Structure 1
Amino acid sequence: MLGGGSGCRNINLALSRTPARLTRIVPAWDSGGSSRAIRETLGILPVGDIRQALMTMAHGEKCAGNVVRMCNARLSEAADKRQLRTEFDFLADCRHSLLKTEPAPLSNAITRYLDVFRSRLPEDFDLGNGSVGNFILAGAYLAHDKDINAAISIFKGMCGIEGNVWPIAVASDVHLSARLSDGRVLDRQHLITTLTPSEPPAWIEDIWLTRASDSTVSANVEGNGPAIEAIHTADIILYGPGSLFSSLLPHLLVNGVVEAISANSRAKKIFVGNITDCAETRGMTLEAQLSTVLRLARTRSSGIVLTHVLSNRNFFPFPKRVGKFSYLQSGSLEEMCGAQGISVVSGDFEDLWRRGTHDGEAVARDLSKLAAC
């Protein structure tokens, strides 16, 4: 499953409850939230998307142990720095009752990683609303010579997680940039995901990855070995759902990704259309989004990168909104996919109780049918 955070959550949860062996492949260019503060302070790979995907996997697999509870916790949000440091030290010094009930090797490992993380922080670092899971994962990353794959494997073992989560790249300095139709360049992911409507309207014309301070220069970014291997061996390669320009498309810019997708000739390659548009894709149809994916992928490989698309059935012949955004229109999806040899699976994929989000069980059922074909 190629994608970022909350858009994949419901489907991740549903697939985790099936016999499927699930691998999440997540971005390596997160620049927002507490993950941003840790990344900028310590100069490390962003861990927020990784931790979030691991916690979603744990929830889907019904891992409810003390370690999962701790990794899913956060420090106080509105508190002074002295209180926040007291909260952190309470955990790092193994005084929390959840840690005291765990076997010594496990509690010692957690407190070791928290202590490594603490030792690298400046005194004025703001711990407010910080994710304890981010702290532990970052500490493990630092303790194991900045080997994120080793840190993830250890984190999974501590939580009892069976599924896999890998960042698409392991370099610590990867960032995402975008050029808008009005000439502006947004040089970090969080600036792209928080785009606001403008008059006249501006849309994203181009994206690229950079590893340099100059955000206008595209850089080569090597793919993460376990992530590339997972693509090579998958029975189904799932694109999304999620934010097109900040969470999905950039994966295809990483060296080896499109090549691995093309080389896996036996896999179903399925794009899961979003239920609504978002700040990045306002006004784009599902047809336009697919065309963008195919256009980018084919600059790197002439092989087959997409075989199916899951499209939520739209019952209204006019634009209709849910919250801030409109339901995603299909456009000339059937015609475009027919010309490209892509099968369209149309269904009722919206959650009945949470409008604008996917019904993970409904998507998982159709994926199971496709896998059996």
Structure 2
Amino acid sequence: MKRIVMFGGGSGSRDITMALCRQRYEVTRVVPAWDSGGSSRALRAALGILAMGDIRQALMTMAHGEGRVSSVVRFFNARLSETSSQPDLLAEFDFYVSGAHPLLATMEPGIRGAILNYLRVFQSNIAGDFDFCRGSIGNFVLTGAYFAHGRDINTAIFVFRKLCAIDGHVWPSTADDTVELRAVLRDGQVVRGQERITDLNAEQAQAGIERVELLHAGDGRPAASRPAANPAVLEAIGTADLMLFGPGSFYTSTLPHLSVAGIAEAIRAAPPQVPKVFVGNILECPETIGGTVAEQVRALLQAGGPGSLTHVLLNRGWVPFERVAKGFRYLHEGVLPEGGPGLLADDFEDPWHRGRHDAPKVVELLGELITRSGPAPN
């Protein structure tokens, strides 16, 4: 099986992940440890841990792509209610922890016992005022496994994968619990926290992002040294047949991985025939309003260094008009660097879902790149 390493988080890479799994590629997703929104925000605030949400979401995507939609996956995909009533939320959570949920009765005893054990470990580590609103059961199980296995995130992910029977891999780029993302805008404003950067207001979005940095969470000090790379990520990079950057939130889910110590160096050290492909987004988002794909390519090359990118996969529509979908304009190409990565330009938009990639078409092209590049040395 050909090995593909994908850098990105959240839902932006979902369609391509599923298409790669269905074509029997061995996929490794490298996701952020600094997510600070949704269920991850409550967990990080209460427990001081790295973000679980992108890890769990990427694992669930793989489960669907691999056809592993079992009772376990359905259970892990469940969320608690959107209510402000703490007694109601506690009662709902207790329903899962007690083992009363009907899906648990369909599982093998060993799997059911492991899941309930991890939920109870999680329960023992939280305070009574924990915010359960819209909490992800999968996040709670993964967090429980994290504490049960001595705060070793790689072991926690391993057992979570085994419970779901997932073949692919998902690793945070760093196992550092303290990492927080900060964006410096072109007008000097500083925006702290992944969820605030992803949702810039109109004034901030117009100013645009100049750079992103990783900080120690809580005190705002720039890291004295860059957070260390997860060894599992470095191993995956070293054996990859192709590396993929994006699609997804560029400044929060893709670019910051190259600020983790060891990752850019490992990418540059990969055999020269291994394709390293940036998949440009089709639409703008609050992070990239007024920007271009070319600006993002330059940011990747600056962070990754020479040889960190070999190709740019660019959506190019058929009509020469300014277009808008879902409230955002189509991202402009800009002027790509001369002598830079090779350009793979075509209409890559899904014909049924505006603003999303035609994942099978993208995956077909990636397969051609791997075939042309030849096997990477073992």
Letter in 1 for 2:320: P
| Partner Cα separation in structure 2 for residue 293 and residue 10 of structure 1 | 23
C-alpha contact (below 8 Å) 2:146/2:155 kept by paired residues:
yes
Task: Give the number of aligned pairs.
Answer: 365
**1:56 equivalenced with 2:61 (yes/no):** yes
Match of 2:163, SS state, is helix
C-alpha contact (below 8 Å) 2:206/2:289 kept by paired residues:
no
1:166-224: CA deviation from partner (whole Å, max 9, x where unpaired): 00000111000111122211111111000022189311112110125442524420000
**1:188 equivalenced with 2:169 (yes/no):** no
Partner of 1:307: 310
Query: 1:93-108 maps to which residues of 2 (within 5 A)?
Result: 93-108=98-113
**1:68 equivalenced with 2:67 (yes/no):** no
Normalised TM-score (structure 2) = 0.93
C-alpha contact (below 8 Å) 1:181/1:202 kept by paired residues:
yes
| Partner Cα separation in structure 1 for residue 162 and residue 104 of structure 2 | 16
Query: 1:87-126 maps to which residues of 2 (within 5 A)?
Result: 87-126=92-131
C-alpha contact (below 8 Å) 2:205/2:286 kept by paired residues:
no
Report the identity percentage.
Answer: 48
Partner of 1:291: 298
When the two chains are superposed, the root-mean-square deviation of aligned CA atoms in Å is 1.4
Query: 1:169-318 maps to which residues of 2 (within 5 A)?
Result: 169-198=174-203, 201-211=206-216, 213-215=218-220, 217-219=222-224, 220-265=226-271, 266-298=273-305, 302=306, 304-318=307-321
Partner of 1:130: 135
Letter in 2 for 1:346: A
Alpha carbons of 1:212 and 1:41: their partners in 2 closer, same or farther (altered >3 Å)?
A: closer
C-alpha contact (below 8 Å) 1:314/1:329 kept by paired residues:
no
| Partner Cα separation in structure 2 for residue 73 and residue 214 of structure 1 | 34
Partner of 1:360: 359
Match of 1:13, SS state, is helix
C-alpha contact (below 8 Å) 1:34/1:130 kept by paired residues:
yes
Q: Which moved more, 1:89-98 or 1:53-62?
A: 89-98
Normalised TM-score (structure 1) = 0.95
Partner of 1:41: 46
Partner of 1:148: 153
Letter in 2 for 1:129: R
Partner of 1:77: 82
Shift of residue 256, structure 1, vs aligned partner: 0.6
Shift of residue 145, structure 1, vs aligned partner: 0.6
Structure 1: stretches of 5+ with no match in the other structure: none
Segments ≥4 residues shifted beyond 3 Å: none
C-alpha contact (below 8 Å) 1:312/1:348 kept by paired residues:
yes
| Partner Cα separation in structure 1 for residue 107 and residue 221 of structure 2 | 49
Shift of residue 90, structure 1, vs aligned partner: 1.4
Letter in 1 for 2:295: A
